[in-house]
Structure 1
Amino acid sequence: MIKSILKVISVAFITFSLTIISTVATAEITINWPSIWVGKDSKTTVIRELVDEFNAANAGAIKVVIEEQTDYDIYAQKLTAQISTGKLPDVFTVGSDLLDILHRSGKAMDLAPHVNSDSHWNNVYPENALQSNMMGGQLTNLPYELFVTPVTYNKKLLKAAGYDEFPDNYDDFFKMCEAVTATGKVCTSQMTGKNAWTSMLWYSQALASAGGPDIYEKGLDHPAYVKAFEVMEKMYKYTTSDAIGADAGVSGGHFLNERTAVFMNGPWFIARYTSDGIAGLHENIGVAPAPMLSGGEGAPGGYIGGKQSSLAAGKQSDPAKEEAVVKFLKWLTTPENVARLSYSSGAMFIVKADLPSDMDRLFQEMNEQKGNAPYVAPIFINGIGSLPIAKEFSQALSALALGDVTPEGAVEMLQDAE
């Protein structure tokens, strides 16, 4: 009798255990994605569509949950802290300035085994694009969004100042700024808040013009760093009164509302010229390479740019979740999906995708100028190879704009941060 009871209990326990195991095995996997492609970002709509489509195709098995990160700088600070002391998100985007510390943290998923075992990756990426991103035999990020940052200018406002074409040298550029000022408009959008993004791009252009595209290999003692700050010092004579302390929203907002004539940002901003700009702004915009410094080591038509955002994933202890994450990354890198993203936003991507022939005019002009450029030099925060120096840039620029330091003093601030 006792044996029979024990046998029944044993069978019941095994049945219950198998039920639990089956339930666990088939439970929906949740992938958390703290995404900056939300809110006013030009990629928001298609990213939401792609996530919804992925979730529908994998209903009951995998669900991607977007955690909205509307402030790029706060997101970067949070991610930096997670890389250093916390746990990484399941899926995330990472800027070029954090790729090295991400790899060294040991917290990122190594995607190399997946890339080596699945032809998808080498089919959608250009030759050696993934191999060149490997560190110590590991692949902890997938290059994704690329960028170039030419000058964007308001042709209508320049014409009112007597200019039909954008100047190709800084002497003529500042003469143009005088002419624009005389019309009652402000020449350039600048900023010093947060990472001083748009002004940092101008500095990067001037730096490559003065010192050549390999300037970051020459050290902070090279005179090009001072010359580029001299350009910025003068630039702040032709900007808005709120530029010191302004963030990207303020800087971009002035250009979108035709309060400034000249702006610098990447192709991802193209869609906003229509969605957020004053009526008729888009058709009045032209793009051009930045002006050149006389006697510099750069070349006319030179561009700056590089990798904007790479895809990455946190290390997983559950093989099933790791496979789910990789499946989602494959979805984001599918050429058809990348083409949709590029078409809707104007952003550029490294994934091989057949883009529609009716891509935005500004995208086509940027792409053509990039193709004709003698070089595409890194932007300062990526090329300098030092996170402390990159973070110090906005402080040095603020001090320069306020008149607290000279261009030489601004360079010294960068050197002291190293």
Structure 2
Amino acid sequence: MRKKLSIILACSLSLGLVGCSSSSSSTSPTPTSGTKEPSKATDSPSKEKVTLTLLSHYVGETEKQFKPLIDRWNKENPDIQIKLQGVDFGELLPTIMTKQTAGQVADIVHVYTLWGGQMVKSKVLADAPDDVVEDVKANYPAAAVAASSINGKVFGYPTEVQSYGLFYNKRLLKDAGYDNPPKTWDEMLEMAQKIHKKDGSGKTTVQGFGFLRGYAGKVVQPFMGMMATAGGTLLSDDMKNSQLNSDAGKKTIEFYSKIFGKSGISDIGFDSTKGFSAGVVGMTIEAGWWAGSLKTVMKDNYKDVGAAPIPSPDGNTSSSLAYTWAFGVNSKSKNQDAAWKFLKWFNSQTIDDGLTPEGKFLLDAFNMVSSRKTDLETQKLKDKIAQDPITKTFTEILKTAKPEQNPSTGSEIQSILYKQIENMWTDKATPQSVIENANKDIQAKLVD
């Protein structure tokens, strides 16, 4: 998904839209109490066909699940045709910005909301219509609304909304004498040390706890999730100041120093991602979308996988980090009304089993439940949550998760912290120097 955070770190991550006139896809969504259904697009149907480009990170298998829904719209709306353009996640932001500069804009853009500040600063995104703003605020969790907003103003529809939690191997925990996952950071360290095993030569054969590695999001997003359980956020609410040197930040850096490196309990050379799938890692932190990948890879051994909220320092605080993707309309599109008409259909109108097209896509492509209220009220998703304890866990985690903050320099800030943590894990920096250096460099980016 998103990220690889192993990421991710999150397709996870993970990760809805007004209307057709003569099929089940034109059915209005189940209204929520006290809210209104988003109005139909105000533009008159054009007799001249327009073709809109939709730029997203959906490629390969996810594109195969996405395309039938696009084909469905195109068949039912001959005057507004959608052309899907998919690029790999790592190339999506550069592609958006390059096309914008060259004047070859995509009408609809699917953005990771960490980029939201940069998108608005560069005038990539158009303002969302009032009925879309009203619909988003009424039908999505607070974390998703905040993530898909800049300066308090909604810019698009949340799509993949993912929170972080603790994945654990029930068999390994039981073998070490534990029936339940940890609730505190100290319990997590204690359990990890009991689970950890080495062979006669000192080589790690079973890792008690390991963070996933590979790129910035994979390392930094779990960090922010843990920092949230300690009662803090990386940036101040107005995103003008770094808070890495706060008590919550210092506690989280200290915990990270106890996992890898000279003071760590785990072997940094042991691949936590592959190891968890192979059943030789006791615990790690990842976004809820990962469950779908594990189920595919682990097959029958997936029965050993459990999920729980991220432990907190005191065992009482419930929080996490939520990251979001969102659909928006390009400010330079010549067909903005038509683009919003499609997005309203995709994100707010109901089709199969009462789900929105976005809700159906998330379930089919990622085995992920939509965060939209009208989707969650369908029997299809109620049954899914009731029958799948991991899905239920992450649905609950999302209720108290804090949104990923999205200043215009969000990607650069993430890279700064990632490099400093990796330096600490490879014994090139101390926890104190990480706090001092990263805090200073992050603050400089907030002033830019």
TM-score by length of 1: 0.75
Indicate the structure (1 or 2) with the bigger Cα radius of gyration. Answer: 1
Cα drift, residue 45 of structure 1: 5.0
Map 1:203-282 onto structure 2 (within 5 A): 203-210=223-230, 212-213=231-232, 216-217=235-236, 219-236=243-260, 237-239=264-266, 241-242=268-269, 252-275=273-296, 277-282=297-302
Cα drift, residue 104 of structure 1: 2.5
Matched residues, percent identical?
A: 18
Map 1:310-321 onto structure 2 (within 5 A): 310-316=326-332, 318=334, 321=335
CA distance in 1, matches of 2:403, 2:392: 21
Map 1:13-52 onto structure 2 (within 5 A): 28-39=49-60, 44=63, 46-52=65-71
With a CA cutoff of 8 Å and minimum separation of 6, indicate the structure with the bigger relative contact order. 2
CA distance in 2, matches of 1:302, 1:192: 24
* Aligned counterpart, 2:395: 367
* Aligned counterpart, 1:414: 438
Map 1:336-351 onto structure 2 (within 5 A): 336=355, 337-344=357-364, 345-350=367-372
Map 1:279-358 onto structure 2 (within 5 A): 279-293=299-313, 300-316=316-332, 318=334, 321-333=335-347, 334-335=349-350, 336=355, 337-344=357-364, 345-350=367-372, 352-353=374-375, 354-355=377-378, 356=380, 357-358=382-383
CA distance in 1, matches of 2:267, 2:332: 48
Measured against aligned partners, the alpha-carbon deviations of 1:355-412 in whole angstroms (never above 9, x if no partner) come to 42321331113224555xxx42345x65998543222121111101111001111122
Paired residue total: 369
- Does the CA contact (< 8 Å) of 1:91 and 1:312 recur in 2? yes
CA distance in 1, matches of 2:328, 2:146: 15
TM-score by length of 2: 0.71
Cα drift, residue 114 of structure 1: 6.3
1:109 lines up with 2:126 in the alignment: yes
Per mean C-alpha deviation after superposition, the further-off stretch among 48-57 and 131-140 is 131-140
Measured against aligned partners, the alpha-carbon deviations of 1:324-364 in whole angstroms (never above 9, x if no partner) come to 31222122203522332343321442353234232133111
CA distance in 2, matches of 1:124, 1:222: 34
Name the amino acid aligned to 2:75. A
Q: Which runs of 5 or more structure 1 residues have no equivalent in the other structure?
A: 1-24, 244-249
- Does the CA contact (< 8 Å) of 2:309 and 2:318 recur in 1? yes
Measured against aligned partners, the alpha-carbon deviations of 1:298-335 in whole angstroms (never above 9, x if no partner) come to x62512133411111212453xx323312221222035
Name the amino acid aligned to 1:404. K
In terms of fraction of residues, the more helix-rich structure is 1
1:153 lines up with 2:168 in the alignment: yes
> Residue 404 of structure 1: SS of its match in structure 2?
coil
Name the amino acid aligned to 2:343. L
- Does the CA contact (< 8 Å) of 1:148 and 1:305 recur in 2? yes
CA distance in 2, matches of 1:367, 1:163: 25
Q: 1:88 to 1:155 in 2, by over 3 A?
A: farther
CA distance in 1, matches of 2:141, 2:179: 39
> Residue 226 of structure 2: SS of its match in structure 1?
helix
* Aligned counterpart, 2:75: 56
Cα drift, residue 260 of structure 1: 2.0
CA distance in 2, matches of 1:301, 1:383: 26
Measured against aligned partners, the alpha-carbon deviations of 1:186-214 in whole angstroms (never above 9, x if no partner) come to 233434432141x323322332233x145
